[in-house]
Chains A and B, each alone.
Chain A
Amino acid sequence: MRPEDTAPFSSGEDPEAVLLRTAQGRLLNEGLLTLPVEYREVLVLRELEGLSYKEIADIAHVPVGTVMSRLSRARQQLKRWLVPRIGQSSEA
């Protein structure tokens, strides 16, 4: 499937984006824990510590390209885990 085929909406908010924004603490933490540790680390250093790719690369002793690919895979995997589970659990 080409990227051009996957977008059903041309206006208004994308439902998956809306759903993702409602993901809550415990579910998110569970999702983060399903990630391999090196994926989780770059995601946390980026989103919660606000470090740049270069800073993460320096701390983790890997090239910036590796940071980028880990981040991309971390997000992809987390999203795939979260989307079917948001709003299903009883937690607030």
Chain B
Amino acid sequence: MNCTQCRPLLNAHVDHELDLRASLEMEAHLASCTACAVEAERLRALKDAVRGGATYFAPSQKMADRLRRSLHRERTRVSGRRGWRNGSAVLPAAAALCLIVAVGAVVLRPPAFDRVADEVVAAHVRSLMVDHVTDVLSSDRHTVKPWFQGKLNFSVKVTDGSSQGFPLIGGRLEYLAEQPAAALVYRHGQHIINLFVWPAGRPGDQGVGRLSRRGYTAYRWAHDGMNLWAVSDLNQSQLLDFVHLIQAE
């Protein structure tokens, strides 16, 4: 790959949108080409600045309309799903975004959110890298829940999802958002799901939001003063099924 081929793909590369082969060719070129490497670094710096700094954005009418239609499609699709309860306050991320758009402005997440999101996904990835993804290995929630007592100053609700294809495989201690957190580990087929739980610092609930990082999907919400994040490389709709299962308990 030479510079002429590299430059048009540089944005896609820093966005992790290239396939494996193109991405490896790009890395090889960047390792030997200072000009392109510097350009990549400037792009990453700009991305970090935008993610960390921007706080307000008003979408165009056209975009607002499209998001609303996307919301309608998603609601229509979701309402046919097994296990969906009418009247539930849970909304997928696109729907949440649409609601905000409908009010006329999008107030974006504060910078701290992105740091927590990065931390949570990193914790998920790290848990997959070591020999044990659990500190307490048990599919029995009556073993896992008491294991956390004395290690965390909050009570952890442990759901067993095996009847819906999401068996509990154990638990683990984590440190997220500058405080101790519980990680409840589930499996769906060959995929691991980490459900991270920690106190939100304020009471009440917050609707479900979705984000993606490096090929992993995360759903986050708050319930009863607790932050919950479900992270996996599972596809979105299956992970959302898991989220609904946890919320239903």
Is the CB of B152 closer than 8 A to any CB of chain A? no
CB pair A53–B15 under 8 Å, yes or no, is: yes
Q: Which residues of B contact A41 (CB under 8 A)?
A: 59-60, 63
CB pair A4–B33 under 8 Å, yes or no, is: yes
Give complex CA distance A16, B43 in Å: 10
Query: Which range holds the interface residue count of chain B?
Result: 35 or more
CB pair B53–A28 under 8 Å, yes or no, is: yes
Closest to A6 in B: B35
* CB proximity to A under 8 Å, residues B1-18: 3-4, 7-8, 11-12, 15, 17
Closest to A54 in B: B17
The residue from B41, B50, B212 contacting A17, defined by CB atoms under 8 A apart: B41
* CB proximity to B under 8 Å, residues A54-84: 58-61, 68, 71-72, 75, 78-79, 82
Q: Which residues of B contact A10 (CB under 8 A)?
A: 34
Is the CB of B105 closer than 8 A to any CB of chain A? no
Most buried by A among B11, B33, B44, B93: B11
Give complex CA distance A91, B38 in Å: 28
CB pair B70–A59 under 8 Å, yes or no, is: yes
Q: Which residues of A contact B84 (CB under 8 A)?
A: none
The residue from B8, B33, B47, B59 contacting A47, defined by CB atoms under 8 A apart: B47
Is the CB of B66 closer than 8 A to any CB of chain A? yes
Q: Which residues of A contact B60 (CB under 8 A)?
A: 37-38, 41
B44 to chain A, nearest CB (A): 7
A33 to chain B, nearest CB (A): 9
Q: Which residues of B contact A58 (CB under 8 A)?
A: 70
Give complex CA distance A32, B45 in Å: 15
B98 to chain A, nearest CB (A): 10
Q: Which residues of A contact B93 (CB under 8 A)?
A: 49
* CB proximity to B under 8 Å, residues A1-60: 2-7, 9-10, 13-14, 16-18, 20-25, 27-29, 32, 37-38, 40-41, 43-44, 46-53, 58-60
* CB proximity to A under 8 Å, residues B200-242: 211-213
Give complex CA distance A40, B15 in Å: 16
The residue from A22, A29, A52 contacting B56, defined by CB atoms under 8 A apart: A29
- Can you list 27 A-B contacts (CB < 8 A)? A3-B36, A3-B39, A6-B35, A7-B39, A14-B38, A16-B45, A17-B42, A18-B45, A21-B48, A23-B53, A29-B53, A32-B54, A37-B59, A37-B60, A37-B63, A44-B57, A47-B51, A47-B54, A49-B97, A50-B211, A50-B212, A52-B17, A53-B15, A59-B66, A59-B70, A68-B12, A75-B43
Please name the 5 residue pairs, one residue from A and one from B, whose CB atoms are nearest each other, closest first.
A7-B35, A20-B45, A28-B53, A17-B45, A23-B49
A10-B34, A48-B50 given. 5 additional CB < 8 A pairs?
A: A20-B49, A41-B59, A50-B117, A60-B63, A68-B12
